[in-house]
Amino acid sequence: AQSVTQPDIHITVSEGASLELRCNYSYGATPYLFWYVQSPGQGLQLLLKYFSGDTLVQGIKGFEAEFKRSQSSFNLRKPSVHWSDAAEYFCAVGASGTYKYIFGTGTRLKVLA
């Protein structure tokens, strides 16, 4: 069965520092992978997605993620965090064929000024 694990419930970084949010997935075939961000009281906004091809994916707001099949991971990175990046981040895996999305439990990011 598909599953997504986000090991870090909370992460705190200083503004300007680099960021890496971890995501591990379990899926039998090549997955479709997504990172979404959710600000308080808002819906989910897509940051980036991986379907195939280049394993390093660029997204909006300066985010990138790397698909590593051998590690079943799809970690999200940003070289320099801004205070406005404080939000909750969700990794999701989509099943080919059914297009069913499974979300992780999320990582809440706090940014210190």
Of residues 29, 54, 70, 98, which one binds another protein by CB under 8 A? 98
In the DSSP assignment, the letter for residue 30 is P
CB of 38 vs another protein, minimal distance in Å: 9
C-alpha closest to that of 38 among 109, 111, 95, 113: 109
Residue 2, SS3?
coil
Under the phi-then-psi rule, with left for phi > 0, alpha for psi from -120 to 50, and beta for the rest, what region is 61?
A: left
C-alpha closest to that of 73 among 28, 19, 33: 33
Contact map string, positions 29 to 48, toward another protein, x by CB under 8 A: ---x-x-x----xxxxxx--
Compute φ and ψ for 40, nearest 5 degrees: -55, 130
Q: Which is nearer to another protein, 15 or 22 (CB)?
A: 22
CB of 56 vs another protein, minimal distance in Å: 17
CB of 15 vs another protein, minimal distance in Å: 25
Q: Which is nearer to another protein, 13 or 35 (CB)?
A: 35
Tell me which residues touch another protein (CB under 8 A).
4, 6, 32, 34, 36, 41-46, 49, 51-52, 90, 94, 96, 98-106
